[in-house]
Amino acid sequence: MSALSGAASVVGIGATEFSKDSGRSELQLAAEAVRAALDDAGLRPSDVDGLVTFSMDANAEIAVARELGVPRLRFFGQIGYGGGAACATVGHAAMAVATGVADVVVCYRAFNERSGHRFGRVAAGATAAPTSGGIDNGWQYPVGLSTPAATVAMFAQRYLHEFGATSEDFGRVAVAMRRHAATNPRAWFHGRPITLAEHQASRWIVEPLHLLDCCQESDGAVAVVVTSTARARDLPHPPAVITAAAQGSGADQFTMTSYYRDDLTGLPELGLVARQLWAQAGIGPADVQVGMLYDHFTPFVLVQLEELGFCGRGEARHFLADGGIELDGALPVNPHGGQLGEAYIHGMNGLAEGVRQIRGSAVNQVADVRNVVVTAGTGVPTSGLVLAVG
Amino acid sequence: MSAGVAPVADAVQDPAERIREAARRLVEAGDCAPRPARDPVNEPMINNWTEALGDANPAYPGIAPPAMVQVWTMGGLHGQRADDDPLGAMTRVLDEAGYTSVVATDCAQTYARALRPGERLAVRARLTDVAGPKRTALGEGWFVTTVSTWTVDGEPVAEMMFRILKFRPPPPPPPPRQVPRPQVNRDTAYFWEGTAVGELRIQKCGECGALRHPPGPMCPRCGATRPGYVVASGRGEVYSFVVHHHPPLPGREVPFVVALVELEEGVRVLGELRGADPGAVRIGAPVEVDFDRIDDELVLPAWRPR
Ligand SMILES: [Zn+2]
């Protein structure tokens, strides 16, 4: 157990609707989600003294603070590496709260990712930035490897080769997420489950990934409120206690293209996060009732199950075939439907679902939840959380 | 189509045969009707012409310079070719067949006698030969030869053989491929300078000799900051690959393969795998380096099966 473990809790969650065209600015989405999260927490904007977001978010902390009328900010920051930032926003907030740097920190992510700038398209200017990242992109974009799906497909092809897995193994993740989303009224794919045959018949995006291996694109925003666990006792909802928060970046790390390591079948940066989570929380995989696993593309859900220790290396396909990630499985994964089924809000909607599972208020509630593990963007420097019942 | 010459039957399908048939009919039709000059041979025009050419021959303007013969029957600024003009008719046939460009190749004039101010000329023309299709430096085309005859009161005074090449213009060069361009800096310049000269270069630590790709300024093994490079054999195996279908990408036709290749030297490099059936690519397949020249300044590493 670390000094961080248990010091802070998530006490409020808020979100806009999830859509394909929000009809309003990203700043408005951010402000709406933050206000909703504060309302949920029973706090006011004047209580907020910290804001954390993603470096990819277009809404600066000061802009959100202006809209909310937050009179002073003592702590603010932006976490890099795309969706890898999701859990780290809460991790940084927890550290600020645990050390007394801030009292109430709101973490948010807001975008019009479907109606505005779409990540699935080739990022114009990706190689032009006069940064180390711009140089890195120069090994990838010019030769035609230039979408998130393509970068993940390169890992996935090697995974299939090494472990004898098939596209159907990836498909089982998509089918489970859509089944979960089918009973979640907030999910874009509410009432629209798919079959494995439909997954197999969906068109190629980048082989070996079918369309249904790729998460949807969404407009929307999610925010969560972090404060001390002591203060959380006086607030309306039972706290989701942050018993572990960690970040991870591995050897020879790149953003989505760590192709030059000895092995391409793992996510060592996530393995590093996992070891920290279990150590901080003082638990192991067997103590976790729900997994909120980042599912932008299906193959990395298999690798996450392995890196987190829910199954052995290369054995995730058996875990899936046995129904391991179903609501009644060994580790129910993303009961809200994940980013494949509910919405793609860069992992923050999964984090909010983790809080609901702790509170016992989820639409697809898993029974007797004591610990939830939450992961963030995969293939990039990443982060994770363990949330626990207080 | 010229008067008195029936259109070529639509039943003649072969384009070359249609052209030959049209030519045969036009040759058979012979001379078109004589077209009278707008003005008689006159001193002011002779003076303008010799002055412009700097020809001080004292015989002018008492007689007209023989080479002026075409001047007298020019159509003027708004002149139009007569309907039965055989060169016009043949030009239309060749235009329709796609031989839309033209260049004059030969011109030879013969003069029977000098022309004097006051004489009124007329000109008539006939098609004498259409030869082709021939491959030329300009493109595939047909040589069209006509003979024009100038007369004064029916007396032939000059004749001109005129030959043109009607050719099919070559297709415009494909637009330059637009691909995202890598940023070249002090740490990466050696690599892109290498591809430009057909070398696949791998960074090699100047201190401990460690090979590394992608490169960087400081050796992660020994900390030295004096990287050099070696030229790779270019041979390797597919370590992993993808087949890109969607979305469409600038500069590439889908589907295409991008391969992560492990070189014999032990480092991996990304590049498009060209010349391979996307459905048949396998991990472990032997490949060798290829170079994808985008333009004069950018050559990308690529692969081909070996
Ligand atoms: Zn070295």
Query: For the segment A152-171, what is each residue's pLDDT rounded down to a tens digit?
Result: 999 999 999 999 999 999 99
In a domain, A178, yes or no: no
Query: Which pLDDT value is given to residue B11?
Result: 61
Query: Which pLDDT value is given to residue B8?
Result: 59
Query: Which pLDDT value is given to residue A1?
Result: 56
d(CA B68, CA A362): 99
Nearest to A157 among B241, B268, B272 (CB): B241
For residue A159, list chain B residues with Cβ-Cβ distance below 8 A: none
d(CA A49, CA A41): 15
In a domain, A156, yes or no: no
Tokens of B258: 């991008």
Q: Give residue B81's pLDDT band: very low, low, confident or very high (50, 70, 90).
A: confident
Q: Which of A368-382, B83-97, B198-212 has the lowest mean pLDDT?
A: B83-97
Q: What is the mean pLDDT of residues B102-116?
A: 94
Q: Give residue B79's pLDDT band: very low, low, confident or very high (50, 70, 90).
A: confident
H or E stretch covering B275: none
Q: Which CATH number fits domain B15-167: 3.40.630.30, 3.10.129.10, 1.50.40.10, 3.40.50.1170?
A: 3.10.129.10
Query: Which pLDDT value is given to residue A307?
Result: 98
Q: What is the mean pLDDT of residues A272-298?
A: 98
d(CA B131, CA B105): 13
Query: Which pLDDT value is given to residue B6?
Result: 55
For residue A138, list chain B residues with Cβ-Cβ distance below 8 A: 181-184, 188
**pLDDT above 70: residue B270:** yes
Q: What is the mean pLDDT of residues A39-50?
A: 98
| Residues forming beta bridges with residue A78, ordered by sequence position | A53
Side chain identity at residue B69, one-letter code: V
Nearest to A127 among B183, B239, B250 (CB): B183
What distance in angstroms lies between residue B124's CA and the mean position of ligand 1's atoms? Answer: 87
**Mind listing the pLDDT tens digit for each residue in B189-204?**
999 999 999 999 999 9
Shortest CA distance to A315 belongs to which of A325, A323, A305, A329?
A305
Q: Considering only alpha carbons, which residue of chain B is nearest residue A252?
A: B220
Query: Which pLDDT value is given to residue B72?
Result: 94
| Residues forming beta bridges with residue B259, ordered by sequence position | B241, B271
Shortest CA distance to A159 belongs to which of B243, B257, B240, B273?
B240
Predicted TM-score (pTM) above 0.90: no
Long-range residue pairs from A122-126, CB within 8 A, at least 24 positions apart, any chain:
A122/A146, A122/A147, A122/B180, A122/B247, A122/B249, A122/B250, A126/B180
- SS3 per-residue string spanning A189-239: CCCCCCCHHHHHHCCEEEECEEHHHECCCCEEEEEEEEEEHHHHCCCCCCC
Q: What is the CATH number of the domain that holds A25?
A: 3.40.47.10
What distance in angstroms lies between residue A140's CA and the mean position of ligand 1's atoms? Answer: 25
Mean pLDDT, chain A, whole residue set:
97
In a domain, A149, yes or no: no
For residue A155, list chain B residues with Cβ-Cβ distance below 8 A: 240
Mean pLDDT, chain B, whole residue set:
93
- Is residue A108 annotated as a catalytic residue, yes or no? no
Q: What share of chain B in percent tops pLDDT 70? A: 96
With an 8 Å Cβ cutoff, is A310 touching chain B?
no
Q: Give residue A331's pLDDT band: very low, low, confident or very high (50, 70, 90).
A: very high
Tell which CATH architecture fits domain B189-305.
Beta Barrel (2.40)
Nearest to A138 among B188, B244, B258 (CB): B188
Pick among A139, A256, A262 to test the B interface (most B CBs inside 10 A): A139
Nearest to B300 among A143, A208, A264 (CB): A143
**pLDDT above 70: residue B3:** no
Residue with tokens 């180390």: A132
Other CB atoms within 10 A of residue B194 CB: 19
Q: How many domains does chain A have?
A: 1
- Is residue A159 annotated as a catalytic residue, yes or no? no
Q: Considering only alpha carbons, which residue of chain A is nearest residue B262?
A: A260
Partner-chain contact A207 B213, CB within 8 Å: no
**pLDDT above 70: residue A280:** yes
Q: Which of A81, A108, A141, A344 is catalytic?
A: A344
| Angle of helix A299-307 versus helix A167-182 axis, rounded to 10 | 90
**Mind listing the pLDDT tens digit for each residue in B221-267?**
999 999 999 999 999 999 999 999 999 998 899 999 999 999 999 99
Asked whether the CA dihedral A150, A152, A158, A159 is positive or negative, the reply is negative
Q: Could you tell me the residue range of the domain that residue A249 belongs to?
A: 8-117+215-389
Q: What are the start and end residues of each CATH 3.10.129.10 domain in chain B?
A: 15-167
**pLDDT above 90: residue B83:** no
Cis bond upstream, residue B133 (ω within 30): yes
Residue with tokens 């060169």: B87
In a domain, A190, yes or no: no
d(CA A353, CA A357): 6
